[in-house]
Amino acid sequence: MDERETELFQGMANCYNTCHEDFKNTVHMVARARGLSDSEVIAMLQGIKAKEGNSKEYIAIRSRLPKEFPI
């Protein structure tokens, strides 16, 4: 993952672990904090999953999020 992708994905995990909101609300909070739309964040997360889904870094961050999150 590049630096922006890592920061976004870690932001998702940090936000969830602080607020324990569902996927939609976690995406919304992360999007607002970064000046992005919810759909931009979702597209970025889908791209990260497609590109990095088997990497150690992705798996480590993903483990901090609920299994039902579709990323």
The DSSP line for the chain is: --HHHHHHHHHHHHHHHHH---HHHHHHHHHHHHT--HHHHHHHHHHHHHHHTTSHHHHHHHTTS-TTS--
Taking the model in full, what pTM does it have?
Answer: 0.92
Q: What is the residue type of 6? A: T
Cα gap 32→55, rounded to integer Å? 27
Query: pLDDT by residue for the chain (71 residues), tens digit each?
Result: 999 999 999 999 999 999 999 999 999 999 999 999 999 999 999 999 999 999 999 999 999 999 999 99
Of the candidates 53, 50, 58, 55, the residue with the CA atom closest to the CA atom of residue 8: 58
